[in-house]
Chain A
Amino acid sequence: MVLCFIAFFVFAVMSIFSAKYRPLAKEGFRCVFRTLMMKPCDTGLDERIKADVVSAVLKYSPPLAKVINGHFAALSWLFVIITLASFAYTAVGVYNFYVYGNCDGPQAIGACILNDITGDYGRFSEPTDLIPPTALDGMAAGNASANVTIIEFGCFTCPYTKKAESTMKTLLQRYNGTIYYVFKPFPLPNHPYSQDAARAVLCAYRQNKSWELQDEIFRQQQVCSEEGALALKPLAQNAGLDMAAFNRCFDNNETGAELERYVQEGRDAHIYATPTFFINGKPLVGPKPIEEFEKAIAEAGG
């Protein structure tokens, strides 16, 4: 019976540590072999497992024991399938971790999801849905006339945007002068104070200090998400901003309309998660490993 597959595996592993389980592993192997040969398992191992399980459950819950006893074959199939599936998932995860540095693989969302049920955007959830933006305005760094342009839509209170920031910094250093980087704020409505943080960074950009404030915000991301403006102002101070100008800009919502334009641009691009990158138009969603970016940059001729 199917249960032998699991029994064989489990006992085989256990018998590595204790000789006591070796006969059981052998029995499980014989059973597996016979099952594969389409012959009934003749060692009685499955029956003994059933008796063990049902008797154990019977002590605590006769009705549950009755269900298990009555549907043991079906339940063991289910159990086997779940176990095999979880083995498979684990194997894929281990492979991904080895190859991509994360368990979810190259297509991993690992990003902050836009959860805007009022807009049309919930319809989009695949990189293929994305439409590369054409405008290059935004908070820029690098060489404006470089061959490769990386556009990022990010949210300052999104942990994944924060995670991608160091990758961007490394890339800017590594490809010094050969890439152009444009950050477009795309505050997610479901993240508290994401709008305030974005407006604040836009105000800092007016003083050419957006990186500095951005760094401060990412460092204190948790506090920003909890306290909003109350936390942002001291951070602006830390970032070395001209506070009078900043306060004026921030308190009067001077960057509000500008932010709205970026958001609209993101919506037009069908952004559904942050951070989303376009490397010469090719989308990457989430803080992908740096190798992925390097690959995309190479493909884009960088």
Chain B
Amino acid sequence: MNGIRRDFPLLGANPQLVYLDSACTSLKPAQVIDAETSYYTQLGACGGRSSHALGRKTTEKTEEARENVARFVGAEASGLVWTRNTTEGLNMVASGLDYSKRRKVVTSVMEHHAVLLPFMKLRDRGQIRLEIVGCESDGTVSAGRWAQAIDRETALVVTNSGTNTTGWKGNAREVAKIAHDSGALICIDGAQGVAHGRTDFRRDDFDFLCFSGHKMLGPTGIGALVSKRQLLDRLEPLMSGGGTVKAVSGGKIDPMNDQTRFEAGVQHYGGILGLAAACDYLKKIGMEKVEAHEKTLGMALRRELEAVDAVIYGPADAAGHSALYSFNLKGKPHDLALMLDRQGIAVRSGFFCAQPALEALGANDGAVRASCYVYNTVDEVNKFGEALRKLRQLY
């Protein structure tokens, strides 16, 4: 991990900054920024439409990127749809599936609002029956709970491969198996999981996987929905428009039969190139190394939090967490975050767009969250601990 920090212009410009909010969005290395800019400086044209040289080159480069990003998560390029972010992917799945034969959707209380809200909306419209599985007191959701809820009525199961509240990496693979045993589909919210560990779409037998570029060193405004090829055909697109049809003639639509059916309008080509560069960057480090580094940071975080007697949410041991901890000291979470900010430490406070999850954990007034990534160091975690010790004197 040596030398990585030098790749991040924002860290260079703010040498005193301790950025512990990567679960919200990560910082971007120069390689990603350059790749994104390269679209504007070297390509600049429409992909998949224009046949001039720059248009062809744009198509070529973005299709290369599709291969690249799909490979990064162990999936086929033909099943990858560009989205704006995880949220868009999840909405595409929620609104695109057919619930006429099986009406039930199962998810858990530990999910992000990006998962819960689209399905709650369908429930409120009477389109689905929604079962929200509860959690243990440490925020984990056991396979047993899932097995109990998933039945032959279940069309879809949605869960995450890493939470943004406790840092628990979850049991997505197991849940996928339980879903398939009942003939249900599995959709994975990979917003955290893809960024922080190796994801193997095929091996884990997922049906849908949604993730965002911006949490994995990539640009904002780009993400992907990865799907089994044959399932894409069963999905109704959320949006239609330019680029989604072969022809519109005689009052009839002849849709594309590949994933471009879902990619309405001119795409975020710069973002696509940036996301591919982020995958390259992470691959070069190696996701195993990323996980090992985060394990070290996670243990350091836990040590610092225990030293100030913080209330820690989530599994009782460091093994259950990634380098992400939600906690509370005596003061209001928001006050703590603001005062940490005054000491140059960026953390998040509140409900992290997962209010039901925090309430289930007993954090009814929210919590403070510190989350690390590849560029963080144990030294920084120590600084964070020092700041916490100072703040503890206030209570």
Please list the residues of chain A having a beta carbon within 8 angstroms of any beta carbon in chain B: 44, 47-48, 50-52, 54-56, 58, 62-63, 65-66, 69-70
Contact in complex: A54, B339 (CB < 8 Å)? yes
- Mark the stretch among B144-152, B356-364, B387-395 that contacts chain A: B387-395
Contact in complex: B394, A51 (CB < 8 Å)? no
Q: How far is the CB of B98 from chain A (nearest CB, A)?
A: 42
Contact in complex: A51, B342 (CB < 8 Å)? yes
Q: Is B343 an interface residue when CB atoms closer than 8 A count as contact?
A: yes
Give the chain A neighbours of B335 by CB distance below 8 A. Answer: 47, 50-51, 69
Identity of the chain A residue whose Cβ is nearest the Cβ of B393 in the assembled complex: A62
Give the chain B neighbours of A62 by CB distance below 8 A. Answer: 390, 393-394
- Checking A44, A56, A66 against B394 with a beta-carbon cut-off of 8 angstroms, the contacting residue is A66
Contact in complex: A47, B393 (CB < 8 Å)? no
A215 to B179, CA, bound (A): 109
A240 to B338, CA, bound (A): 78
Identity of the chain A residue whose Cβ is nearest the Cβ of B343 in the assembled complex: A55
Contact in complex: B394, A69 (CB < 8 Å)? yes
Contact in complex: A47, B334 (CB < 8 Å)? yes
- Pairs A–B under 8 Å by Cβ, sample size 14: A47-B334, A51-B335, A51-B339, A54-B394, A55-B339, A55-B342, A55-B343, A58-B390, A58-B391, A62-B390, A66-B393, A66-B395, A69-B331, A69-B335
A51 to B338, CA, bound (A): 6
A54 to B336, CA, bound (A): 11
> How many of chain B's residues have a CB under 8 angstroms from any CB in A?
13
Q: 18 additional contacts, CB 8 Å, given A55-B339, A66-B394, A70-B394?
A: A47-B334, A47-B335, A48-B338, A51-B338, A52-B342, A54-B339, A54-B394, A55-B343, A56-B342, A58-B339, A58-B390, A58-B394, A62-B390, A62-B393, A65-B393, A65-B394, A69-B394, A69-B395
A50 to B395, CA, bound (A): 15
Q: Is B341 an interface residue when CB atoms closer than 8 A count as contact?
A: yes
A54 to B341, CA, bound (A): 12
A51 to B334, CA, bound (A): 10
Identity of the chain A residue whose Cβ is nearest the Cβ of B332 in the assembled complex: A47
Q: How far is the CB of B332 from chain A (nearest CB, A)?
A: 8
Which are the 7 A-B pairs with shortest beta-carbon distances? A51-B338, A55-B342, A62-B393, A69-B394, A51-B339, A66-B394, A55-B339
Please list the residues of chain B having a beta carbon within 8 angstroms of any beta carbon in chain A: 331, 334-335, 338-339, 341-343, 390-391, 393-395
The total of interchain contacts (Cβ-Cβ below 8 angstroms) comes to 38
Give the chain B neighbours of A50 by CB distance below 8 A. Answer: 335, 338
Q: How far is the CB of B58 from chain A (nearest CB, A)?
A: 39
Give the chain B neighbours of A58 by CB distance below 8 A. Answer: 339, 390-391, 393-394
Identity of the chain B residue whose Cβ is nearest the Cβ of A50 in the assembled complex: B335
Give the chain B neighbours of A44 by CB distance below 8 A. Answer: 334
Q: How far is the CB of A75 from chain B (nearest CB, A)?
A: 14
Give the chain A neighbours of B394 by CB distance below 8 A. Answer: 54, 58, 62, 65-66, 69-70
A54 to B387, CA, bound (A): 13
Identity of the chain A residue whose Cβ is nearest the Cβ of B338 in the assembled complex: A51
A50 to B334, CA, bound (A): 11
A66 to B339, CA, bound (A): 13
Q: How far is the CB of A295 from chain B (nearest CB, A)?
A: 59
A70 to B335, CA, bound (A): 12
Give the chain B neighbours of A52 by CB distance below 8 A. Answer: 342
Give the chain A neighbours of B341 by CB distance below 8 A. Answer: 51
Identity of the chain B residue whose Cβ is nearest the Cβ of A56 in the assembled complex: B342
Identity of the chain B residue whose Cβ is nearest the Cβ of A51 in the assembled complex: B338
Give the chain B neighbours of A66 by CB distance below 8 A. Answer: 393-395
A264 to B297, CA, bound (A): 89
Give the chain A neighbours of B338 by CB distance below 8 A. Answer: 47-48, 50-51
Which of B338, B390, B393, B394 has the most chain A CB atoms closer than 10 A to its own CB? Answer: B394
Identity of the chain B residue whose Cβ is nearest the Cβ of A55 in the assembled complex: B342
Q: How far is the CB of B241 from chain A (nearest CB, A)?
A: 37
Give the chain A neighbours of B391 by CB distance below 8 A. Answer: 58
A65 to B335, CA, bound (A): 13
Q: How far is the CB of A60 from chain B (nearest CB, A)?
A: 12
A56 to B390, CA, bound (A): 12
Q: How far is the CB of A50 from chain B (nearest CB, A)?
A: 7
Give the chain B neighbours of A55 by CB distance below 8 A. Answer: 339, 342-343
A108 to B46, CA, bound (A): 82
A55 to B341, CA, bound (A): 10
Q: How far is the CB of B302 from chain A (nearest CB, A)?
A: 25
Give the chain B neighbours of A65 by CB distance below 8 A. Answer: 393-394
A90 to B175, CA, bound (A): 71
Q: How far is the CB of A54 from chain B (nearest CB, A)?
A: 6
Give the chain A neighbours of B339 by CB distance below 8 A. Answer: 51, 54-55, 58
Give the chain B neighbours of A56 by CB distance below 8 A. Answer: 342
Q: How far is the CB of B322 from chain A (nearest CB, A)?
A: 28
Identity of the chain B residue whose Cβ is nearest the Cβ of A66 in the assembled complex: B394
A69 to B336, CA, bound (A): 11
A70 to B394, CA, bound (A): 8
